[in-house]
Amino acid sequence: MKLIIDHADLNIIKGIYEYFPVSGVTTNPTIITRTGKEPYEVLTSIREFIGPEAQLHAQVISTDAEGMIKEAAVMREKVGGNFFVKIPTTKEGLKAMKNLAKDGFQITATAVYSAIQAYLAAEAGAAYVAPYLNRIENLGYNGVQTICDIQDIFENNKMDTKILAASFKNTQQLLELAKYGIAAATVAPDVIENLIKNDSVDCAVNAFVVDFNRTYGDGKTMM
């Protein structure tokens, strides 16, 4: 499962890239507004940092198909590289996806709350569908099961579309999806940091260092 950063602040993205095995960045309109910067300033600086090969996903604002298609063309041109245009999975969004797929756009079908939306988006030509795990669970449904159902639909129908799960609140949600072989997960930096936070691990590592230094001298290492 690819791990992707769901954020737009370049310094925070740099901090996560330094430590974690991540494969790209996703943004949404809300995330971009939180930077306080112009959208293309944000997206081009992320692109410059992650390089042309890494995935960068950004979302259209228009709610009608024609507007989405026009925005997608401008976004792909301005952001460049391995760019995925995020299209909301509405009726208008499906129309936009069908047209954009014909023109060779890489599409991430977003705002997916149900398996049937994912199926339709895949048929319409999306490369990824992005189910919102935690938001689905907040509605009282089983988010993990919904995503596993989507995976089964894709496999059983021999569809090439992959899942980019989004909206995580904890490690357990991520683990469940990794077990099921979900292709990618986009995760906020605070949740990514928590994936490796474990006092027992720190305690075990510190005990090794204390034992070693007690015998061979303070500050001694294997160098």
Residues forming the active site: 86
The residue type of 149 is D
Q: Which residue of this chain has its Cβ atom nearest to ligand G3P in the complex?
A: 167
Question: Distance between CA 134 and CA 142 in Å, rounded?
Answer: 9
The nearer residue to ligand G3P, 69 or 109, going by C-beta atoms, is 109
Candidate residues 84, 119, 132, 154; the one interacting with ligand G3P per rule CB under 6 A = 132
To the nearest whole angstrom, how small is the minimum distance from the Cβ of residue 4 to ligand G3P?
10
Q: Does 84 bind ligand G3P (CB under 6 A)?
A: no
To the nearest whole angstrom, how small is the minimum distance from the Cβ of residue 138 to ligand G3P?
8
In terms of Cβ atoms closer than 10 Å to its own Cβ (0-12, 13-18, 19+), residue 83 is buried
The nearer residue to ligand G3P, 6 or 9, going by C-beta atoms, is 6
Candidate residues 44, 45, 62, 134; the one interacting with ligand G3P per rule CB under 6 A = 134
Q: Does 28 bind ligand G3P (CB under 6 A)?
A: yes
Nearest to 106 by CA among 131, 132, 80: 80
